[in-house]
Amino acid sequence: MRLTVLHPEAKPLITQFAGGLMPIRLGDDAALSLVIKTQKEAILAAKMNGSFAFYLPALPSSTVTTTSLITAFFDDDDEPLIIRTPLFGDDGFSQGIVEILKYEEVDVYFFDEQNYEWMSFRATLEDNGSCLIGTEDIHLLGYHPETAKSIHGVLSDWFGNRTQQDDECAIQAVFKEELSPNDIFVLDMTPEVNAYQGGSGFRRDTLTRTDPGYHQERDISACLLRAFEPKQIMMNPKRKDTFKEILDHLVLTDELAILIQAKDSPTTEAGISRTLERKRRSTHSQIDDAIRQINGAARYLQREATAPLVVGGQNVEISLGQRRVIGLAIVKELFDDEGESYATACKKLAGLNGGGMVMDYNSFHAFTHRFSTQAEFIRALETLIDRVSTNGWIKVKDEVFDGVLDWVEELRTTPDR
């Protein structure tokens, strides 16, 4: 945890950052360092391989040839986990990334979405033919939110159709020197992530997770605390008569009840190395199981005027009353080409008077990071449910992308950042 310990002044900016690549100058260092804030699966893939890759495709625009960045973490050779980063000529953030990509080596710090630092390495950058060293005349475009959205789409299309030559021309970031131990165990007792009902006041975490349920439940609780008060969040509510857990989370406001059930898989080397086909089958099974549990919990809560529950060892009586009831199923990952099946799954929650939604965990994190007040979160979630029920599947990450652009715009206009 080298950066966290030696440069605590950087932590607030990393916490504010939703995710992706962040160039950062630490202390009096002449060179920039690189913070990568991403999902644990990508961090573990980089650790397993001892490397990751930067792709800088030459992209035609209406006036010039430009480029932007895809960072790839190879849990799968054909469809690795990626981060898309639009690059702009009038943006200091982009200029810092381009500067780093021209280094011979760079210090890289890996954080997850809960702002835990898991590993850090000095990496050599081996440019095997990117457009940064090619003969083609490359011009970075001027920043505009619509341009950023367009680049994201173009990058996805390009990467999905890349060739073996494109792979060979990528910049390889190869780990050369470990900057701090990477067998980290986290024990977090801060109220910011532990104050919900049903918690123990602390959480433990490791990069490799063989017991995914424990960790995912607490990750979701921490995300919910961005938008809701601790007293509104109940983790692992149980029936008083059978002591059987009815849900992972029950969130209550004056007008709304959100029933959340999550399903996860182990974050291990064997887990992330599974074939895509197995991962797809696992996702469908997890969605079905989560929806079945949400509907069952709704029936129990609505069976009597008041439902007796036990939360964190305390007796609680819940009356849904006139509240709208929303179901939210959260799984490890969704796949862009299976949207129709996810929309069909959402219809299985239509019996709830507020409907329901399916999300992957990383989209849920982005959603709570973007819509970080109760009013914003509820309005955005209900809008999303309505649009999916009316128009078909919508990728949640696309819906929160404007929030990333808001952050970039703030960064561009705030001095001394």
In a domain, 410, yes or no: no
Counting DSSP H helices and E strands in the chain, the numbers are 14, 20
**How many angstroms separate the CA atoms of 387 and 131, rounded?**
40
CATH for 344: 3.40.91
Tens of pLDDT, residues 69-106: 999 999 988 889 999 999 999 989 999 999 999 999 99
**Residues 149 and 226 grouped into a single domain:** no
Q: What confidence tens digit (pLDDT) does each residue in 110-127 have?
A: 999 999 999 999 999 999
User: Per-residue pLDDT for 50 more than 70?
Assistant: yes
Q: How confident is the model at residue 58 (pLDDT cuts 50, 70, 90)?
A: very high
Beta bridge partners of 331: 263, 360
How large a percentage of the chain has pLDDT more than 70?
95
Q: Note whether 13 and 129 are same-domain residues.
A: yes
**Are 159 and 203 found together in one domain?**
no
Q: Is 172 a residue whose pLDDT tops 50? A: yes
Domain check: are 10 and 118 in the same one?
yes
- Count structural domains, the chain: 2
In a domain, 414, yes or no: no
Predicted confidence at residue 414, as pLDDT, reads 55
Asked whether the predicted pLDDT for residue 303 surpasses 70, the reply is yes
Q: Which of 153, 183, 213 is the last residue of a domain?
A: 183
The reply to whether 179 and 262 lie within a common domain is no
Band (pLDDT 50/70/90 cuts) for residue 400 is low
Q: Residues of the chain with pLDDT > 90: what percent?
A: 71
Structural domain harbouring 100: 2-183
The reply to whether 310 falls in a domain is yes
Taking CA atoms, 377 is separated from 18, 255, 364, 370, in Å, by 16, 13, 11, 8
**Which residue's structure tokens are 């601790």?**
230
- Domain identity same for 155 and 227: no
What is the end-to-end Cα distance of the chain in Å, rounded?
A: 23
Q: Flag whether the pTM goes above 0.75.
A: yes
Domain termination site, one of 149, 183, 217: 183
Closest to 42 measured CA to CA, from 98, 111, 89, 96: 111
